[in-house]
């Protein structure tokens, strides 16, 4: 039976652009993983690894016009957005190169023997080593920042782990082009092309995570897809870590004082955030708790004015468009749900933005149809829940699972620590990996302190997911890796006999 073709599709028209590949067979996936496994040694030298990451960034930047044109043809996100996203991706690769050069991510700790301790301490030396081959599952909504050369891949390569990427079906041509650029960068430093494998097809994604030589997986996408891969990772004879950033509601709480102080600014800002990228950001604010009464009314009016002026847009593919329209129909059919600006169908290829409102009290009850409103609806829509008092707002928040982000908008008095500001911030902290004050979660900076969840794919600490600690006890110094020797020939930051050395 011939392998199924993989087509590049224009979401603006729904028409096929070109065939770019065929779906990978089980043998293809196995070959890619074995090639990645064989490339591990080429990443062992940190100097070579950092140079490879920088060259990859340079080559991606040099090919920018061609890559952006392909990305726009497959995503309809526009050249301005995609040019910025490519720049972010290149910056991220260079940032990880800097982390590799610095070496603090190795977490070197050396303790010399101490016979006076209870119990006695032997000679112990600990650092972190790469896990091995990492499977990366591309996201649909960021053609550059999360797929082939995105955060999962960049951090895994920085850790010293070869990668096999399962391409997303929404941008197969771009995936092939970016993979080719990274392999060219690898060749420049004597690294085999197998250091970055690429496979296409749904079945290939399942087969990939089941192969014994795969040691960890990273995924950004839907709860349903992530759950299936998590189950597969856990069901292996030897389970592996699965790091997923799945669908997220990203709740926002607006205090009554904040709404009274700047209703128009908050309403306009919310509109910009929830419609950014046609609502296809994983950190889109999907549930907003707003006070009932005059202050909340002003915010909702500002939101309606801003959203009402937003043009219809193209979702990543027609399957997502169908799911969005079905989700809106189901939600607007619930009792007490109103749509001041009704989201829905634009023309045959687009969708229009809007928002829904209801009393927050409807969301405080366990079970029932309104629980649907506590699930992500991917696209340009948000739910505004009007709360009668703070306890009602807290009751809604208590029903939420973990999220990538949580946001609170407070007044200037509350921001100064007066009133309930500190308590509200503390209440949001258990809900998310990133907690914002007086801002919006869309737009994620690439920085050392950035974080989105317990296993973040954004920021410098993403590298930690692909490493494991190992301790050597009473090993002769001549046998130790250079990272763990007393004279510190590599000049690494470390903790030496309890003292931090940088």
3-state SS assignment for residue 496 = strand
- 124-130 β-sheet, strand order: 467-473, 124-130, 108-111, 494-496, 499-501
DSSP per-residue codes, 260-311: HHHHHHHHHHHHHHHHGGGG--TT---EEEEESSHHHHHHHHHHHHHHHTPP
Contact 8, 73 (CB under 8 A): yes
Please give the structure tokens belonging to residue 40: 């591990």
Element (H, E) at 468: strand 467-473
The DSSP call for residue 390 is H
Of 465, 469, 470, the residue nearest 134 (C-alpha): 465
The answer to whether the bond into 119 is cis (omega within 30° of 0) is yes
Element (H, E) at 97: helix 79-102
The DSSP call for residue 127 is E
Distance from C-alpha of 292 to C-alpha of 268, rounded to nearest angstrom: 18
Residue 282 annotated among the catalytic residues of the structure: yes
Q: What are phi and psi of 119, to 5 degrees?
A: -70, 170
The DSSP call for residue 399 is T
Of 200, 193, 149, 153, the residue nearest 172 (C-alpha): 200
Q: Which of 176, 207, 245, 376 is catalytic?
A: 245
Q: Which of 161, 282, 377, 414 is catalytic?
A: 282
Distance from C-alpha of 408 to C-alpha of 191, rounded to nearest angstrom: 47
Distance from C-alpha of 219 to C-alpha of 284, rounded to nearest angstrom: 18
Distance from C-alpha of 337 to C-alpha of 230, rounded to nearest angstrom: 34
- Which residues, in sequence order, are bridge partners of residue 129? 468
Residue 210 annotated among the catalytic residues of the structure: no
Distance from C-alpha of 348 to C-alpha of 201, rounded to nearest angstrom: 27
How far is CA 489 from each of CA 46, 158, 470, rounded to the nearest angstrom? 14, 21, 20
Distance from C-alpha of 378 to C-alpha of 316, rounded to nearest angstrom: 11
Q: Are strands 354-359 and 338-341 parallel, antiparallel or unpaired?
A: antiparallel
Distance from C-alpha of 248 to C-alpha of 70, rounded to nearest angstrom: 28
Enzyme catalytic residues = 245, 282
């Amino acid at each position: 039976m011939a392998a199924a073709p993989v087509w590049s599709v224009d979401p603006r028209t729904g028409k096929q652009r070109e065939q770019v590949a065929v779906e990978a067979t089980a043998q293809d996936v196995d070959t890619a993983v074995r090639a990645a496994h064989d490339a591990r040694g080429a990443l062992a030298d940190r100097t070579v690894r950092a140079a490879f990451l920088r060259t990859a960034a340079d080559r991606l930047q040099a090919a920018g016009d061609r890559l952006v044109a392909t990305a726009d043809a497959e995503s309809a996100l526009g050249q301005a957005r995609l040019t910025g996203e490519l720049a972010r991706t290149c910056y991220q690769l260079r940032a990880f190169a800097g982390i590799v050069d610095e070496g603090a991510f190795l977490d070197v700790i050396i303790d010399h023997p101490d016979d006076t301790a209870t119990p006695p301490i032997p000679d112990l030396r600990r650092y972190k080593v790469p896990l091995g081959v990492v499977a990366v599952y591309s996201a649909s909504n960021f053609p550059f920042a999360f797929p082939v050369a995105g955060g999962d891949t960049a951090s895994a390569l920085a850790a010293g782990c070869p990668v096999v990427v399962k391409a997303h079906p929404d941008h197969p041509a771009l995936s092939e082009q970016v993979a080719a650029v990274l392999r060219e960068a690898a060749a420049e430093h004597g690294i085999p092309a197998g250091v970055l494998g690429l496979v296409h097809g749904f079945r290939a994604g399942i087969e990939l995570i089941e192969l014994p030589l795969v040691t960890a997986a990273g995924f950004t996408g839907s709860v349903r897809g992530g759950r299936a891969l998590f189950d597969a990772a856990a069901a292996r004879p030897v389970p592996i870590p699965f790091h997923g950033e799945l669908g997220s509601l990203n709740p926002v709480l607006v205090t009554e004082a904040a709404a009274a102080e700047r209703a128009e600014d908050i309403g306009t800002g919310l509109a910009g955030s929830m419609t950014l990228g046609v609502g296809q950001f994983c950190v889109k604010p999907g549930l907003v708790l707003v006070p009932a009464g005059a202050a909340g009314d002003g915010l909702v009016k500002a939101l309606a004015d801003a959203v009402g002026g937003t043009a219809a847009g193209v979702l990543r593919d027609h399957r997502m468009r169908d799911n969005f329209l079905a989700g809106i129909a189901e939600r607007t059919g619930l009792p007490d749900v109103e749509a001041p600006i009704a989201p829905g169908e634009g023309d045959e290829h687009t969708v229009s933005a809007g928002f829904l409102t209801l009393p927050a009290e409807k969301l405080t009850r366990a079970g029932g149809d309104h629980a649907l409103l506590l699930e992500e609806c991917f696209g340009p829509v948000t739910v505004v829940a009007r709360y009668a008092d703070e306890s009602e707002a807290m009751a809604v928040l208590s029903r939420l699972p973990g999220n990538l982000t949580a946001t609170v908008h407070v007044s200037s008095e509350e921001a100064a620590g007066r009133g309930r500001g500190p308590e509200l911030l503390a209440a949001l902290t258990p809900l998310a990996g990133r907690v914002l004050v007086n801002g919006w979660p869309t737009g994620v900076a690439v920085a050392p302190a950035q974080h989105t969840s317990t296993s973040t794919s954004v920021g410098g600490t993403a590298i930690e997911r692909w490493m494991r600690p190992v301790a050597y006890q009473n090993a002769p110094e001549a046998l130790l890796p250079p990272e763990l020797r007393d004279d510190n020939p590599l000049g690494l930051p470390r903790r030496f006999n309890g003292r931090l050395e940088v």
